[in-house]
């Protein structure tokens, strides 16, 4: 339980509502900042402004999944208010106060480092990345269905990058009956892909390996689908790029060549905000209760 813990949830989207509900269920005192346009609120949590919170009383602060901008400003889909997080605010919290964010930036790092506060970057954690790969794979399936006129079953699919997202995506498409090959650069990954019953290939051979695929799903955050590679692809093929911005595709060249290519960021929050919120809540609660 989180009885006697005071947690400030500052800004965000529908995912934060799941986090708030879980914290309330565990008896935490929750202050919600940046939720003034949320019609019904969350029973048991208190909607307020940042200035109404006494920083010394807070045990944890939860920032949105997308964090804050480099000026320290947080936005919320439930408010027009721009919430500025200052060094003074962080400095006046307890030394033991934990700060949670999805992703971080230099402003946030500096804010916490200079005040010696612990910053937990949820999206950097393996557990969050693996749980999140489930809604990401489902969102990818949705996009492929929306942008093709053939079934996934029987399609030739290449997944680039056998990481936490790539493995789940490859497994999901294979389960739907696609012929899946996976591009990797490490021999141990090649072995694992083979063990999974999928077709491995080395990324250095991408040009020849990708020539006949119908769908290419990239998870590598580096320029792997460059003009050279795309020029060898079937013009009717589809590229879904899941890698973080700017992705790993030369979108300009893809468009010129008539290959449909799209960057698809933030799928968990789009296709399954409730599940994505529950994933965050589960990990945040684990950390907060372990720290007791
Ligand atoms: P990950 O576990 O680190 O996997 C990344 C994969 O890319 C690894 O297999 C890595 O191989 C490979 N890789 C990295 N740089 C490479 C290079 N230069 N050449 C060849 N292979 C390279 O990351 P993840 O959690 O799967 O996430 C993958 C990407 O998807 C990230 O950019 C993440 O932000 C993004 N993401 C997007 C969504 C969405 O909704 N679109 C959701 C979640 C995550 P090595 O092990 O050999 O380095």
**Domain annotation covers residue 281:** no
Would you give per-residue pLDDT tens digits along the chain (292 residues)? 999 999 999 999 999 999 999 999 999 999 999 999 998 889 999 999 999 999 999 999 999 999 999 999 998 999 998 999 999 999 999 999 999 999 999 999 999 999 999 999 999 999 999 999 999 999 999 999 999 999 999 999 999 999 999 999 999 999 999 999 999 999 999 999 999 999 999 999 999 999 999 999 999 999 999 999 999 999 999 999 999 999 999 999 999 999 999 999 999 999 999 999 999 999 999 999 985 4
Pair 84, 57 in one domain: yes
The per-residue pLDDT for 39 is 86
Q: Which residues line ligand 1 (CB under 6 A)?
A: 129, 132, 136, 161-166, 185-186, 203, 219-222, 242-244, 264-268
Tokens of 269: 């929050």
Asked whether residue 95 falls in the same domain as residue 215, the answer is no
User: In a 3-state reduction of DSSP, which class is residue 56?
Assistant: helix
* pLDDT tens, position by position, 177-228: 999 999 999 999 999 999 999 999 999 999 999 999 999 999 999 999 999 9
> 31 with 132, same domain?
no
Domain boundary among 97, 122, 147: 122
Residue 141: the pLDDT is: 98
Q: What is the span of the domain harbouring residue 10?
A: 6-122
Q: 3-state SS of 97-138?
A: CEEEECCCCHHHHHHHHHCCCEEEEHHHCHHHHHHHHHHHHH
3-state secondary structure of 198: coil
Task: Output the domain CATH number for residue 17.
Answer: 3.40.50.720
- Cis amide leading into 75 (omega within 30): no
- The confidence score (pLDDT) of residue 40 equals 83
Q: Domain count for the chain, please give it.
A: 2
In ligand 1, the atom with minimum distance to the C-alpha of 184 is: 21
Rg of the chain in Å (alpha carbons): 22
Which of 196, 200, 221 is the best mutation target for the ligand 1 pocket, counting ligand atoms within 8 Å of the beta carbon and taking the most? Answer: 221
* pLDDT, position 158: 98
- 262 shares a domain with 145: yes
- CA 43 – ligand 1 centroid, Å: 39
> Is 186 found in the same domain as 95?
no
Residue 69 confidence (pLDDT): 95
Residue 165 Cα to ligand 1 midpoint, Å, equals 7
- 68 and 171 in a single domain? The answer is no
Is residue 58 within 8 Å of 91, Cβ to Cβ?
A: no
């Amino acid at each position: 339980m989180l009885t006697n813990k005071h947690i400030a949830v500052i800004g965000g989207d529908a995912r934060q509502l799941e986090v708030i509900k879980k914290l309330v269920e565990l008896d935490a005192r929750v202050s919600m900042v940046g939720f003034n346009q949320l019609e019904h609120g969350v029973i048991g949590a208190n909607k307020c402004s940042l200035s109404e919170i006494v920083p010394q009383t807070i045990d944890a602060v939860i920032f949105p999944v997308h964090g804050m901008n480099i000026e320290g400003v947080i936005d919320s889909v439930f408010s027009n208010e721009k919430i500025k997080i200052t060094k003074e605010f962080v400095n006046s919290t307890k030394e033991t106060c934990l700060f949670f964010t999805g992703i971080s930036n230099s402003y946030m790092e500096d804010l916490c480092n200079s005040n010696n506060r612990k910053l937990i970057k949820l999206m950097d954690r393996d557990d969050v990345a693996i749980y999140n790969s489930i809604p990401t794979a489902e969102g990818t399936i949705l996009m492929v269905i929306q942008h093709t006129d053939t079934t996934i079953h029987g399609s030739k699919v290449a997944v680039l990058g056998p990481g936490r997202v790539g493995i789940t995506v490859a497994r999901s498409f294979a389960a739907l009956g696609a012929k899946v090959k996976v591009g990797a650069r490490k021999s141990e990954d090649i072995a694992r892909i083979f063990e999974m019953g999928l077709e491995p290939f080395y990324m250095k051979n991408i040009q020849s390996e990708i020539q006949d695929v119908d769908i290419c799903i990239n998870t590598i955050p580096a320029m792997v689908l460059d003009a050279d590679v795309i020029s060898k692809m079937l013009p009717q093929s589809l590229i879904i790029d899941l890698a973080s911005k700017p992705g790993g595709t030369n979108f300009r060249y893809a468009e010129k060549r008539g290959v449909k290519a799209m960057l698809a960021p933030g799928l968990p929050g789009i296709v399954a905000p409730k599940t994505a919120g529950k994933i965050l809540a589960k990990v945040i609660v684990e950390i907060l209760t372990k720290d007791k």
